[in-house]
Every structure is written in structure tokens, then in C-alpha cells.
Amino acid sequence: MSTTAGPMARREAKLAYSMLLPTIFVVLAIVLLPLAATFWISVKPVTLNDLRAPEATAKARLRGSLEAAGDSAILEFRLRNTSQQKPVSDITFKATMPTGITITEVDPRCQYAAPDLSCDFDDFPAKFSERLKIPVTADASYIKNPVPLKSITPLMSGTSDNVLTNFSFTTSNFTKIFDSESFWHVLWVTMVYTFAGTIGALIMGLFAAQLLQREFKGRTVVRGLFLFPYVAPVIAMAFTWLVLFDPYSGVVNALLKQMGVVSESINFFGIRDTPIDLFGMEFQFPVALSMVIAFEIWRYFPLAFMFIMARMQSIPTDMYEAAEMDGASPLQQFWSLSLPQLAGILAVLFLLRFIWTFNKFDDIFLLTGGNAGTRTLTVDVYEQAFALSNLGAGSAVAVVIFVLLLIMSLLYFRSIPKEEGL
Amino acid sequence: MIKYLTPFYVMLTGGIWAVLSGISITVIIALLSGLPIRPTLSVFFITGIIGAIWIAIASRTGRDTRHKQISFVIHAVTLLLLSLFQPFNAPLSDGILWQLLGIAGFSWIQSTVMYNILATLDKDSINRRNLELSFISSMRHFGFLFFGVMILLPLYVLIMSSLKSQQELLMNPLNLMPDFGQSLPDLFRSYIELFTKFNFDTYLLNATIVSVTTVIITLLFAVPGAYAVSRLNFPGRVLLSRSILMIYLVPAIVLVIPLYAVFSQLGLRNSLTGLLLVYPATTLPVALYMLQGYFRGLPRELEEAGMMDGCSRIRVILTITLPLSLPALASVSLYVFMIAWNEFLFAFMFLDDPDMFTLSRGVVSLNSSEVPRQHLMAGAVIATAPILVIFLWAERFLVQGLTAGSVKG
């Protein structure tokens, strides 16, 4: 094949690019730009309040009354800077007077070219407020057709320093999160959660796939039921678990008490850890964390199940027949035939699930809100950015997530077996 | 060796299974009847051992279905005698029908399982292979019980707790059965109130609009993209197809802060338009990935024949490739619909105005102390029901489509 592109090849490439363009554009706008912006925000001192840009506003009101032709009154504009912290500069103001209203005296900062009044103000400092008084008179045409003067809405514009776009940077977001002790705990919890959740889901998926490998009546229905935790909305499933394990009105606690396993209700999603005595060694068992891991396994084993099942159905049956002839026992067949055949898909699933579990936010957020020792990195992003209103620190955590993710993805592409797709 | 191990295996299997089925049946009866019952595990354990020994001995002359019936009677009688007619730690006269049902249920499970597991071990065939088969069979039965409980119990609790108030549940958490004696509007009060007082009609409509539109946009973008990646040659193809997967791995939480900031300033935050910008972007990579896997599997020759006949590339796609890909399109649509319908994070972050809520957002808004809890659960049922119906109806497509992308063969 020649390396120089002929006209055919060029046309094909052009077609390909035009077909991909919409996708690339959308992904660029909604994924890659925000990703870059996360890095940007992570080095800036931005809080939730900074999102409302400072604005100059004006509100009209009439002092006196205009009831007959020739009456005069004061039209008053209350000028304000909405921000408590930041000044607004280079403010322009423009208002149009209704027919029949004449301004009799013009403020030095303004020009009056009937019917428009336009003004230029220099600066409104933070919390600034001023009353701009304008004496007006009304003539007969206004009295005939009066318009309430307080309905005048002036057009105002001004520039203010937007912390999102200016060039002041800080490293305090990163030093803050790395210095806090909770961050390392959060990292540890994330790793435990991700690892246990992934392994658990894979083992359960493997088990479930073994169950449904053989044909039997009603297999499709059972398979549908097995997939239920995965397809149902996370909110529904999370609240179901909360109700199921409720310390006061939950079924599980009531059963445990009735069966005599425990004497007091356990607040499964509320307690951090409980001492457990195992062969004379006491250790702290993390209750809430185990529960969210159990939820994660329960919710995502169907995915592993689905992929493993599909792979198992493609293993040629004559391999088993040959093994049977050679006298291999069923467990030996599973161990030395099925498992090696499944190794590829298990590896892929492990890495994919590892990354997805690592990325998971909804489940823990809904179950515990990240309390009781279950805060993972993703929940920490929310906590920092929205609960503590520090968007900069939240973004810094998000950057940490992304960097860790990048490392894992590179690992994924390195180790993915060639025959398993891509 | 195997010969001497077998009796222990038989007894242990019988005992452990009896404990398992004893607990399961007690839980079921307790949930259905609300009776304060509790199994005496030691009694169940010994009953199981006796039953297992009997079936193992009886099967020495070969499998016989009559053994199952005899085994049933043996289990029931042994259980009653050993427990002094109180297998559930309650006087037998309390809800006697329920308790008898429990004993019958236990005996039925135990005799069936033991027959399936142990009757294969007749005298001449005790060897490693058959022992393993028996053990695997035991694990299979356990698996079905385990997964059955794990999936059906939450489903049952989800539905029942939407029909019953928390006060009633506080009185007896095990009595999940709603009062079926009341009139239908009373029974389904929380559902009716959600639609009449809590705007769930709007939420349902919003969720449908958002999900369907997301599916349409995603397909419109992903079909040409996937075709280009899988069929056309162009510089940067490999890089692009890998980047697609990389982007699929970027978590939503990393994007949410800048999107929140920008959408706030553009006024897109409280609008379905905002969601419709974000959802297709998050579903596009996976849709593209699934579709290109499918396109790759289609025979090239068909398209080449079309090209030979003078069709343009676009025409070939429309008249040959797409009709052949209907199953894949169906599964991608289903999957994307599911993602959009279930999406929580962006809906939660972006929507504050109740007129714009999707179902996910609407259900979360019910999670407050001012709203009765059965409303929350009814909301959860409303959010789950459509997706479950669609899914059970088209499950085959989803499974095929999801797995086709990455699994060959």
C-alpha cells in the first residue's frame, strides 16, 4: 500500500471527518472544555458567591405628583451595586422618558437628548448606593396619556472584575486539601470502596453467570430479574435500601432482633464503626462503609454478570467434551478451562469497573451523604464545592480524581488483551 | 478416602441447608403474617442431618421420586417432634395455619433440595466426580436462594412501603402487608397525591421529554461517527477510537463544577435545554463505542456491492447498513434512554425550579421530613416502573448490544 494519499483516500478521510465533526464538537464543548476549566478553577480562589457577577442596577420612583399640565416633580433613581465585595466600573446608564415628560435640570454626569437620558458613572464601590434625583415637568400630552414613571427601567452596563476570568492565581486550594488530615482518609476510603466494590461485583457476577449458564425454563425471566438492580434508577434503589435498613421501621433490623441476633437496632448507614471481637482480637469494623460497598456490589454485579455470561456462551462446547473424556472433574473443568477462557473479559471488567466505581458519586451521596466514614473523593468534590461553597477547593479535588484516573486508564490500555475488542 | 468423607459431606450438607431453608421460610412467614416467630436453629440443623441421612440411604438403590414425598413427611415430623411442637419458638396455636405453612414450606424446600443434591450419590457411584457434582448442585440451589432474596426482598419492600405509612411500620416493621380492606383510592393515596399535589405529572413528562430527546440526539450524532470510525480510513483513526473510550471514563463529578458555573451565568441552569446539552455529551461516547463494534461485525461485502452498483456512501449507509443494524440501534437507544432516565447528578445540581424537575430530581425533593415517607417510596416506584417495563420487554437487545462491543465470538 502506498503511503501517499490518493484523491480517493483524501475524499474518504474528508467524509470521515465530516461525519465525526458533530460528535467531536459536542464532546469538546461539554467534556473537554469543562475538563480544562476544572484545572483552571482549581488554581483560583473562587467561591459559590462569585458566580453571581457584580451588577449595577437602578430602580425608578416618583417623588411628588404630576396631575396637571405644568406640574413638576422629582424622578428618583436608586443606583446600586449588587455585590457586597466587588466594585463595578465604567457604568453606563440610559433611560427613555415617556412622551410629555421633560427634564428640567440635568445631572453633570449625564447628557439629555430628549427623550433619552444617558449618563456615565465611573465606579460603584462594593455595597454602593446612591439616589440620582432628576427634576421633571409634565405637559398636557402626558396628562392625557399618563405612564407611571416608576415603570421606567433604565438600561445599565458596567464592567467588573470576574474572578473566573481574571489572572489571579492561588495554590491555596491544593495546599488546603493536601494539608487537611481528612483528605488522606478520604483517599483511603476511596481505595477500599473501589477495590472491594469491584472485586465483589466481579465474584457475584461470575457466580450468577454460572447459575444461568445452563438452559432451563424461565431463564429469560430470571436473567431479567438479575439485571434489575442495575437498570432501576439509583434514587429508587438507594431509598429502598435506606428503608430496608432503617433502624426504627426497617425490615432487616426487625428481623435481626426477632431472630435474636442483635438486641439493639443497628443504624447501618449511620455508624462509622463498631468494635468486633474476633478470636480475642478486637478491631473496629467499618459499618457504614461496608454497607455502601455492599450496595455497590449489589447494584453492579449485573453488569459483570452480563459480560461474563456472553463470554461463556462463546466458549466452544467441544472443549468441555474433550475434558470430560479425559476424566476432568467439574471443578477442574471450571478451574482449568472456564476461568482461563474468562481471564481476558475478567481483566477488562476489573479495570472498567474499578474506574467506574472510583468515579461513582450518586450511590454514596444518596445513602450516607458521605458521613460516617464513607466520604470518597467524588463526594468530597461536592462537599468542598457546594456544601462549603469553595469551588476552587472542589475543583482541586476533581483534578486529583482526574489525574488518578488518567494513570488508571493508561494502565487499562497497556494491559487490555488484544483479542478483547478495541 | 472419598468413601469415608461422604457421610460427613451428606450430614453437613443436610444440616447447613436445613438452617438456611429454616431461616428463609421463617423470614417469609414472618413477613407475610407479621407473627413474632423465630427458628430454633439447632433443631433445624439436626432435622436436616436426619433427613439427609435418610435420603442418602434410600437412594442407595437408585433415584426414585417417591423418596421425595417420604422425605417431606420425615422432615415435617422430625421438626415437630424435636422442637416439641414449637419449631418457631411460639405456641403452635398462634396463627396455626401460618406455622403449618411454614413447616410444610421448610419440608418441601428441604426434601426437594436434598433429593436434587444427594440422590445422585448412590452406592456405586460415590467418587470425586459425583461428589463435586453434588456440591455444585448444592451451590446452584444456594445461588438461586441467595440471589432470589437479594433481588426480591428490596423489590417487595419498595412496593409495599409505598402503600403503608411509616407510623404503621414503626408499630410492626415486619408487617409490610398493606390493609387491602380499604378502598382503592385510600390504598393508592400516596400515588394519587403525587400526581395531584406534587406535580408528578410534570416530572414524568419532563423525564420523558429529556430521555427521548437525548436518545434522538445521541443517535443522530453517534451513527455517522461510529460508521466513520469503523469503516472509513483516515489519519488519526486509532487515536480517535481510543479517545472515545477515554472520554467515557471521565466522571461527571469532574465536569459538574465548570458546567454549573457556566450554566449559571448563561441562565441554562434551570432549563431542560441545559440537561439536553449535557446528557447527549455523556452518552455519545458509549453509544459510539457500542455502534462501531456492531458496524465492524457487519460484512463489508454487502456495502461494497452497493458501492459497485453506483450508490453513494450516504445511500449505502441509509439503505444497507442502517437496516442491518436495527438490533444495535435498538439496544443503544434503550441503553441511552436508561442512562438519561436514571441520571441523578446533573438533574440534582442544575434544577431548582419544580416546574423543570425530572423524575430523579422530583423523587429526591420528596426526601424531607415534611413529606410522608410512603410518598417518597411511591415516587421511587413511579420512577422505576417505566424503565422496568421497557427493559423486561426489550431485555434481549440490551444484553446483546452491550456485550457485542467488547466481546467477540
pLDDT classification of A226: cutoffs 50, 70, 90: very high
Model confidence at A74: pLDDT above 80: yes
Higher pLDDT, A334 or B119: A334
- The reply to whether B221 and B146 lie within a common domain is no
Pull the grid cell for residue A219. Answer: 431463564
Chain A 287-316, residues with CB within 8 Å of chain B CB atoms:
298, 306-307, 309-311, 314
- Please tell me which of A2-16, B75-89, B389-403 the model is most confident about, judged by mean pLDDT: B75-89
Together in a domain, A268 and A393? yes
Distance CA B32, CA B27 (A): 8
**Residue whose C-alpha is closest to residue B408's, from B239, B246, B294:** B294
Q: What angle do CA A133, A139, A141 make, to 5 degrees?
A: 120
Q: Do B224 and B321 have their domain in common?
A: yes
A255 touches chain B (CB under 8 A): yes
Q: What is the pLDDT of residues A282-324, one digit of tens each?
A: 888 899 999 999 999 999 999 999 989 888 888 888 888 888 8
The answer to the question of residue A1 being in a domain is no
- Type of residue at A350: F
Cβ-count burial B313-333 (b if 16+ within 10 Å, e if not): beebbeebbeebbeebbbbbb
Task: Give percent above pLDDT 90 in chain B.
Answer: 46
Query: In the sheet that A56-63 helps form, which strands lie side by side, from edge to edge?
Result: A56-63, A72-81, A129-138, A101-103
Q: Is residue B116 one of the residues assigned to a domain?
A: yes
A66 vs A145: CA distance, rounded Å: 12
pLDDT of residue A127: 82
From B327's Cα to the closest Cα of chain A, the distance in A is: 16
Residue that terminates a domain, selected from A132, A160, A188: A160
Q: Are residues B27 and B150 in the same domain?
A: yes
Sequence-ordered list of residues with C-beta below 8 angstroms from that of B102, at least 6 positions apart, any chain: B25, B26, B28, B29, B37, B87, B88
What are the C-alpha distances in Å from B249 to residues A385, A397, B392? 22, 17, 28
Query: What residues have CB less than 8 Å from A103, skipping those under 6 apart?
Result: A75, A97, A112, A114, A117, A134, A135, A136
Q: DSSP code of B39?
A: -
- Residues B314, B304: Cα–Cα separation, whole Å: 13
- The enclosing domain of B396 has a CATH number of 1.10.3720.10
- Are the beta carbons of B221 and A22 separated by less than 8 Å? yes
Which region, left, alpha or beta, applies to residue A291 given φ > 0 means left and ψ of -120 to 50 means alpha?
alpha
What are the backbone angles phi and psi of residue B368, rounded to the nearest 5°? -140, 160
| Residue written as grid cell 473510550 | B245
Whether A228 maps to a domain, the answer reads yes
Provide the domain count of chain A.
Answer: 3
List pLDDT tens digits, range B278-322. 999 999 988 998 888 888 888 888 888 888 888 888 888 888 889
The pLDDT score that the predictor gives to residue B284 is 92
Residues A148 and A219 in one domain: no
Q: Of B218, B248, B253, which to mutate for an interface test with A (greatest number of A Cβ within 10 Å)?
A: B253
Q: How many domains does chain B have?
A: 2
If asked whether residues B148 and B205 sit together in one domain, one would say: no
Q: How far apart are CA A64 and CA A73, in angstroms?
A: 5
For residue A225, the chain B residues in CB contact (below 8 A) are 151-152
Same domain, A225 and A351: yes
Q: Provide the pLDDT for residue A1.
A: 45
- The DSSP code sequence of A317-340 is HHHHHHHHHTT--HHHHIIIIIHH
Q: Domain for residue B177, yes or no?
A: no
Q: Please check the confidence at residue B406 and state whether its pLDDT lies above 60.
A: no
Report whether B289 contacts B298 (CB < 8 A).
no
> What ipTM was reported for this prediction?
0.91
Nearest CA-CA partner of B382 in A368, A224, A221, A235: A235
CATH assignment of the domain containing A71: 2.60.40.290
Is residue B183 included in any domain, yes or no?
Answer: no
Q: Kindly determine whether residue B380 and residue A236, on different chains, have CB atoms separated by under 8 Å.
A: yes
- Domain extent, residue B232, equals 190-404
SS3 A105: coil
- Which domain-ending residue is among A160, A182, A215? A160
Q: Is residue B218 part of a domain?
A: yes
B229, B256, B380 member nearest A235 (Cβ): B380
| A422, pLDDT greater than 50 | no
Q: Is residue B182 domain-resident?
A: no
In a domain, B184, yes or no: no
Q: SS3 helix, strand, coil % of chain A, rounded to 5?
A: 55, 15, 30
Model confidence pLDDT, tens digit, residues A126-138: 888 888 888 888 8
Q: Which chain A residue is nearest to residue B367, measuring alpha carbons?
A: A239
pLDDT in tens, B125-170: 677 888 888 889 999 999 999 999 999 999 999 999 999 888 888 8
Q: Cβ distance A200 to A293 under 8 Å?
A: yes
- Give the end of a domain, one of A133, A160, A187: A160
Shared-domain flag, residues B20 and B145: yes
At A3 the pLDDT is 53
Q: B123: pLDDT confidence band, cut at 50, 70 and 90?
A: low
Question: A388 to each of A44, A169, A399, how far by Cα in Å?
Answer: 16, 20, 18
- Asked whether residue B405 carries a pLDDT value surpassing 60, the answer given is no
Same domain, A206 and A248: yes
Residues B215 and B299 reside in one and the same domain: yes
- For A202-216, give one letter per residue: b (16+ CB within 10 A) or e: bebbbbbbbbbeeee
For CA atoms B210, B215, B218, B221, give the dihedral sign.
negative
Task: Let me know whether B264 and B130 are in one domain.
Answer: no
Poorest-pLDDT segment among A101-110, A296-305, A413-422, B86-95: A413-422
Residue B397's pLDDT is 72
**Are residues A340 and A386 located together in one domain of the fold?**
yes
Report the mean per-residue pLDDT for chain B.
Answer: 88
Are residue B154 and residue B201 in the same domain, yes or no? no
Question: A93 and A182 share a domain?
Answer: no
Considering only residues A205 and A70, tell me which one the structure prediction assigns the higher pLDDT: A205
User: On the CB side of B265, how many CA atoms lie within 13 Å of its CA?
Assistant: 16
Residue A51 sits at the chain B interface (C-beta within 8 Å): yes
Query: Band of the pLDDT at B106, cuts 50, 70, 90?
Result: very high
Q: Which three cell numbers stand for residue A199?
A: 472485586
Cell of A214: 445452563
The alpha-carbon gap from B289 to the nearest alpha carbon of chain A, in Å, equals 9
- Residue A120 is predicted with a pLDDT of 87
Task: Give the residue ranges of DSSP H helices in B232-271.
Answer: 237-248, 252-266
* Domain interval for residue A34: 7-42
CB-CB contact of B337 with B280 (8 Å) = no
Do both A184 and A151 map to the same domain? no
**Is residue A168 one of the residues assigned to a domain?**
no
Question: Averaged over A372-401, what is the pLDDT?
Answer: 93
Distance from A107 to chain B by nearest Cα, in Å? 34
Give the separation between CA A419 and CA B3, rounded to whole angstroms.
Answer: 45
Going by pLDDT thresholds of 50, 70 and 90, the confidence category of residue B122 is: low
